[in-house]
Amino acid sequence: MPESAAVPVPPTPPVPLAALLAREDLALRRIAGPRGPDPAVHGAHASEMADPYPYLLGGELLLTAGAHLPGAAAGLDTYCDAYVARIVAAGGAALGFGLAPVHDTVPRALVAACEARGLPLLEVPPRTTFSGVARAVWELMAQARHDGLRRVTEAQQSLAAAASRPDPVPSVLRQLARRTGGRAVLYGPDGTEVAAAGREPGSGTGAALARLARVVRPAGPPPTGTATAPTAPAPAPVPSSATDTTGGASLAAYALGSGRGFVLGIAAPHREAGDHTVAAVAAVLLSLLTGEHRGGPEAARSAALVRLLLGAAPESVAPLLGGDRWQVVHGRPEGRAPDAVAAAALGAALGSPLVDLGEDVVRVLVPGEREPLAQPGWTLGVGAAADPADWPAADVRAARALARARATRAPLVRHGARPALADLVPPDEAEAHARALLAPLDETLAATLRAWLSLHGGWDRTAVALGVHRNTVRQRIARCAALLGTDLDDPDVRMELWFALRQR
């Protein structure tokens, strides 16, 4: 077997040779071999065979007392060189030579052979038994396995928590980049970066990772109407994952199972045990999230449909939805502006794909029989279920419910659906009364008065709802009282004004 051939190693967590050398109870001493990257030890095996090759799996620390070495000095150099060559060909990680009772010192011919073949050579003192060395290897391997399982468990918990945030995709990528110590990228179906987090572990890794992502992205179907030769060979199967290295960095790409052509790419300075499991968990979470995410044209069509349903003549397109009554939900994430991925995640959580992303609010049309629940990181306002003709009004009620939720710092507020006293007054008469009563007020004053009355005259809460200073609210309310010529502390006046403002 040639020395350059790849030798498989057991699927066990490796132990750095330096960890064995650091064990004071073993007192091992490195006396030959390369001083470069520390080899990984996958086990310990004691043998006095002249040719240990058939008994090695690869990655072992081979322990010997030298009983098989020829007693005469003649031919020792040739023997040691052939012996070390067979260990290297079998994939041995290092050679440990025990002193006493056969040899008092490590033969120079063996030291020279290990130096020439690049095999680390350790001196095992008389007081250290081979079984003690083997036990130390297994103890270190068990500790490595425990540390790896704990790391994977912690990573799974942090990734799951990140997926529940208002910005789930960027949060998952940030956690993945932190856990791997590199950069995590989500590529869209067209190969562009949709989101990314972390730093590139080296120059040129970004371009190399993008090329690797193309390996696991399936080619699109032929355009409609394109003829395909009946004898054309079937396309080669596309792998679900791929790995590579560049500049010492470890690269990995995973095709997401959403079926939309998204790919997860990871570039890390090195690959550790458990990294594949952590990346697989992230890929599953991102598959679920991107399964709800829409591309640009599809998102535009969905938003256009929602806006049509919330605008004029919604009954003309209501049959497309397959439901009679729907609720409008207004949502606003805490501390940030919403983005397309967060909007899609909110729609998925509420059970509806009908999502409209605005500048600072997300509107979702939810089936009337579904009960919208509070979502972590979001403030929601829910309108009562309404028929198609009342959807514009339901949109307004959801906006008012969101304003009230923000003012009261509640995660979710529902607009009341009980029959109101205003239902007893004909709409045209109520509207005429409202116009006459509120004629002295402009839009700003009317909006301020409505918010102030809806919040029971609370200055601070009204200021929060309107995004102005409390003194501004006081000045506007005083101006309203002066223009209307009435006492706003009178509950009857407040009730009449509230009735008129609702009609307006």
Which DSSP letter does residue 329 get? Answer: E
How do the residues of the chain divide into helix, strand and coil, expressed in percent and rounded to 5? 45, 15, 40
| 77-92 pLDDT tens trace | 999 999 999 999 999 9
Distance CA 88, CA 85 (A): 5
Burial classification of residue 379, based on how many CB atoms lie within 10 Å of its CB (0-12 exposed, 13-18 middle, 19 or more buried): buried
Enter the tokens of residue 477: 């309310």
For residue 84, which of 44, 123, 53, 48 has the smallest C-alpha distance?
A: 53
The pLDDT of residue 318: 57
Distance CA 57, CA 34 (A): 22
Distance CA 374, CA 401 (A): 13
Mean pLDDT on 404-408: 84
Distance CA 499, CA 425 (A): 11
Lowest mean pLDDT among 280-294, 304-318, 383-397: 304-318
Residue with tokens 């103890």: 139
Give the residue, 189 or 421, on which the prediction is more confident: 189
How do beta strands 326-333 and 378-382 pair? antiparallel
pLDDT at 302 over 80: no
Q: Taking a C-beta distance cutoff of 8 angstroms, is the pair 364, 378 a contact?
A: no
Mean pLDDT on 262-289: 85
| 211-264 pLDDT tens trace | 999 888 766 544 333 334 444 455 556 678 888 988 888 999 998 875 567 899
The pLDDT of residue 434: 85
In order, the DSSP letters of 250-307 are: EEEEEE-TTSS--EEEEEESS--TTHHHHHHHHHHHHHHHHHH---HHHHHHHHHHHH
Write down all domains in the chain, each with its CATH number in brackets. 15-139 (3.40.1390.20), 164-218+240-292 (3.30.450.30), 298-418 (no CATH), 424-503 (1.10.10.2840)
Which DSSP letter does residue 71 get? Answer: S
Confidence of residue 98 (pLDDT cuts 50, 70, 90): very high
The pLDDT of residue 185: 94
Distance CA 483, CA 476 (A): 10
Q: Rg of the chain's alpha carbons, rounded to an integer?
A: 36
The pLDDT of residue 46: 95
Confidence of residue 60 (pLDDT cuts 50, 70, 90): very high
pLDDT at 93 over 90: yes
CB atoms within 10 A of CB 98: 23
Share of the chain above pLDDT 70, in %: 84
CA distances from 82 to 240, 250, 385 (A): 43, 35, 85
The pLDDT of residue 221: 46
SS3 62: strand
| β-bridge partners, 364 | 329, 355
| 472-496 pLDDT tens trace | 999 999 999 999 998 998 888 888 8
Alpha helices in 129-189 (DSSP H): 130-163, 168-180
Q: Taking a C-beta distance cutoff of 8 angstroms, is the pair 368, 342 a contact?
A: no
pLDDT at 7 over 50: no
- For 309-338, give one letter per residue: b (16+ CB within 10 A) or e: bbeeebeeebeebebebbbbbbbbbeeeeb
The pLDDT of residue 236: 52
Which DSSP letter does residue 410 get? Answer: -
Distance CA 434, CA 419 (A): 20
| 116-174 pLDDT tens trace | 999 999 999 999 999 999 999 999 998 888 887 888 888 888 888 888 887 888 999 99
Q: Taking a C-beta distance cutoff of 8 angstroms, is the pair 10, 59 a contact?
A: yes
The distance of Cα 37 from the centroid of its chain, to the nearest Å, equals 32
Q: Taking a C-beta distance cutoff of 8 angstroms, is the pair 361, 295 a contact?
A: no
The distance of Cα 327 from the centroid of its chain, to the nearest Å, equals 31
Enter the tokens of residue 284: 């599953």
The pLDDT of residue 400: 86
For residue 132, which of 33, 41, 27, 22 has the smallest C-alpha distance?
A: 27
